[in-house]
Structure 1
Amino acid sequence: MLKEVRYKNWKSFADSTLYIDPLTILIGTNASGKSNALDGLAFLNRVVQGKDLQTILSGDPALLLEANIQAIRGGVEWASRRPFTSFTLEAVIEYNEEIDYHYSIEVSTKSESDVEIVSESLIKINRKTNKPNKTKIFTATAEEDSPTIAASVYNGGRPKKKLFKRSVSVISQLKNQETREEVDEAVQFVTHTLEHIFILDPAPALMRDYKPFSSRLASNASNVAGVLAALPEEEKSHIESLLSKYVSRLPEGDLQRVWAEPVGRFQKDAMLYCEEQWPGSSEKLIVDARGMSDGTLRFIGILTALLTRPKGSLIVIEEIDNGLHPSRAGILLEMLNEIGTERQIDILMTTHNPALLDELGVEMIPFIIVAHRSTDHGASKLTLLENIQALPKLLAGGSIGKLVAGGEIEETLTQQGSGK
């Protein structure tokens, strides 16, 4: 599992760390850095897949259309915090109770056409002893103006030097190299973990059409119908029963069942359907996705991701409550906790919704992170809510939702940063 990500001169961050738990809530005002933190996760996800660095940041229309991904917001120009011309992203990944892996990549962004690796490394950390023991898997540092980067791969004994392209991550190129078992295991595990970061932003307007069968949910959940219809019959029945179970618990109480059906001559396209039955009525009405509300479709998109993504995934949902009525906050959190725990899926979400924050309760305070701006240099910072010195006093005056709505948390952090 991914435990933490450190941002150094990445976009609006100077140096800050995002800690990831089974359910992590990221809050903060507009322009505080929340989206920039999520963009860092998207970068790590794509860089270990072997995508070209410039393409990751600026995009390639043909590639983006096929892969259903977007360029990183701001492109190359805003990837590094001004006035710097490089950024570093680091990730700590838990292998088991005793072993972590530390992955780091520094990227130069001197010009739009000159995006390349400065340094990259992967280190194994054994926490079994009082003083963690660090073992290098590989380290790589490039010489200025060189088109290649020299990597030292620790295959036992003296490290072997290998040359790699600077436009693509070393770790992705190592996946196809013959190395000793410890190196191969580390590279495969870290890439597998980061590849399973899934940035989800359901777009109801795109979920209403007929969709071809698909084996993987799109980041905008537009192909929900195609994903459900393509599942093996037994798995399809199980997942649709779970979808129906949670949807039927929504406050409206009219949605009884959700499913997808193949349509068309070749039965390779699908449509999403739901069955409505209003309280007090014996009549059942079947509605397809074109007649469903935005909130219902977004809810189904989130549910489908939780139920179909591989175990061990990290699902990232920006503005999770967007389009959802405040009355759905409780069932949404219950769903995230239940399914996330059962399927071993971590969830990182951002929200502004006071109702959702109030549903969290004080027991979730250790897992709430506040994005805010430094009073010294304006850079974004990530602060654990429980580390705010005046938190007990703040909570005595109101709930978390009330404090966020009134801007009191950000005001307190400003005072704390200025020493008042």
Structure 2
Amino acid sequence: MNPDDPSLPPQSGKTHYAISAICLNTIRKYGQSDWEIAVENFRKFNSQQTAAKEVDAILRNLEIQGFKSIANDHIELGRVNVFIGANGSGKTNILEAIALAGAARANDLNYESFYSRGVRVARPDQIISSFVDSSQGNSIDLKLNFLEKNEKFIYEFTLTPAHMQDVYTRWIDLSEEEMMPEILLQHFKEITQKTPNISGNELLSRANDLLAQRGLNKSRRYDPILTEYAIFDINTKSLRGIAPSESKKSPLGINGEGLDLFIASLNKEEKTILNRSKFLFDWLDDIISDKEDKLKLSGLKAGKSISTLYFRDLYMNSKNNTLSAENSNEGILHILFYIALFLSDKTPKLFAIDNIETALNPLLCQTLIEQIVSLSEDNGKQVLITTHNPAILDGLNLFDDEQRLFEVFRDDSGHTCTRRIKFKSDLSDKQGLKLSDMWMSGLLGAVPKNF
């Protein structure tokens, strides 16, 4: 729990350090007869949490009902997923639906939590689907199916706001509310079988401990994947360290914050992988992390940036060839941020990137996707990407089932729909064109139809 505000859950956007409830409850048992049992339970819980971080699961199926422009949609995902479509088709809504599920699993369904995960927050009556041809419901239904080898696990959520007209209102997961009595009865039965003569107050206390450990779901194995999910929509000012940090996410903020400190913290192997990306910039000689910010005293930055990241230009005179993040090319900052997201186990296993092409040359976009595909497989990452740049598509190999391309469009009723784009194995339907050419010519769909 947050020591400054115990009412906040540990995953709250306002929580930067926390003591888990089970840790606190274990400490409270010190000196009591069941101290050793409490310690053993804590060790078991801690080992389960450690194991959860090592899970290599894929979010395979996503079902969304009643969220923004998505009335009812079902998407089968791969490891690298790219969504294309006209402006306003609902691409980002798909990314946001997963963020809501993550907030629900973290028991943190409020404005701050949504915002910190990258959701564009509005009044509930604008978040819950509203169409002219049907009456508006009062909830959002989400279903996520994770697959790890041959093991499947399903999360289901029914989210409803406490107040329909209040943008800052707390949301409630009705699916967990419905499960509470049954789960409590299971905990009571388990406790009384082990301790038949337990008092009523102690029974409630231990049942509460079990809820803190296990939550309402029987398994929390995939919780870290879901609760750490975020939508990264980065901007150059945040990458340069100029814009004030608004993101609560760490180590990398959803707008690009923290890149310099993150690169400085990479281990030797991770830095080696990062340095391989230098081939993408023919002018780049070296990437420098000035942890103590000594180069600032040399006048290498104007003082507006807090970033300690520098770059050495291969073609400039060695006396003045070191450029600060404030003065460097924005493309390299974007590329390094994306590479960093995929190479470290400190970043989420599942995340989204909105408008990945920002500030990047078209050919660089293609090569970036090729790098992302390789890194995601090597490091157990899964990503959902939106783009408006056709060159992104040329980095995909759609004959690899883990690389998937989706058209996002709105039907005649305005409902967001997705369609996976696939080709015949003999390429007879590809007509010798690159994916970028096919998109621009309208063969893939995902283009405006009103002009």
TM-score, normalised on structure 2? Answer: 0.68
Q: Distance in 1 between matches of 2:141 and 2:98?
A: 12
Cα distance change, pair 338–410 in 1 and its aligned pair in 2 (3 A): closer
- CA deviations over 1:266-310 (Å, ceiling 9, x no partner): x9x75001122039x888822110111221111111111112344
Aligned residue type for 2:276: K
- CA deviations over 1:136-178 (Å, ceiling 9, x no partner): xxxx43xxxxxxx844228769989xxxxxxxxxxxxx99741
1:77 Cα deviation (Å)? 2.9
Q: Distance in 2 between matches of 1:405 and 1:312?
A: 33
Choose the corresponding residue for 1:74, options 114, 117, 122.
122
1:367 Cα deviation (Å)? 1.2
- CA deviations over 1:65-93 (Å, ceiling 9, x no partner): xxx55553434232110122221111112
Q: Distance in 1 between matches of 2:140 and 2:104?
A: 14
Q: Distance in 1 between matches of 2:338 and 2:211?
A: 39
Greater shift, 215-224 or 21-30, is seen at 215-224
Q: Distance in 1 between matches of 2:324 and 2:209?
A: 49
- Which residue in 1 is equivalent to 2:351? 315
Q: Distance in 1 between matches of 2:448 and 2:388?
A: 17
Q: Distance in 1 between matches of 2:100 and 2:211?
A: 26
- Which residue in 1 is equivalent to 2:275? 244
The share of aligned pairs that are identical, in percent, is 16
Secondary structure, in 3 states, of the residue corresponding to 2:210?
Answer: coil
Alignment of 1:131-280 (within 5 A): 140-141=177-178, 150-153=180-183, 177-178=209-210, 186-209=218-241, 216-229=251-264, 231=265, 235-246=266-277, 248-250=278-280, 252-264=281-293, 271-278=308-315
Contact 2:350 2:382 in 1 (8 A): yes
Higher-Rg structure is 2
1:50 Cα deviation (Å)? 2.1
Which stretches in structure 1 are left out of the alignment for 5+ residues?
A: 60-67, 122-139, 142-148, 161-173, 415-420
Secondary structure, in 3 states, of the residue corresponding to 1:302?
Answer: helix
1:47 Cα deviation (Å)? 2.2
Residue 67 (structure 2) pairs with residue 36 (structure 1): no
Q: Distance in 1 between matches of 2:230 and 2:208?
A: 24
Contact 1:371 1:380 in 2 (8 A): yes
Q: Distance in 1 between matches of 2:173 and 2:118?
A: 24
Choose the corresponding residue for 1:367, options 385, 404, 424.
404
- Which residue in 1 is equivalent to 2:67? 10
Cα distance change, pair 178–411 in 1 and its aligned pair in 2 (3 A): closer
Contact 2:307 2:325 in 1 (8 A): no
Q: Distance in 2 between matches of 1:175 and 1:15?
A: 37
Secondary structure, in 3 states, of the residue corresponding to 1:74?
Answer: coil
TM-score, normalised on structure 1? Answer: 0.72
Q: Distance in 2 between matches of 1:293 and 1:192?
A: 35
Q: Distance in 2 between matches of 1:180 and 1:219?
A: 29
Choose the corresponding residue for 1:117, options 172, 176, 179.
172
Q: Distance in 2 between matches of 1:282 and 1:228?
A: 23
Q: Which of the two has greater strand per residue?
A: 1
Aligned residue type for 2:86: T
- CA deviations over 1:182-220 (Å, ceiling 9, x no partner): 9888442132120232322222212223899x9611112
- Higher-RCO chain (CA-CA 8 Å, sequence separation at least 6): 2
Residues matched between the structures, number: 353
Cα distance change, pair 382–288 in 1 and its aligned pair in 2 (3 A): same
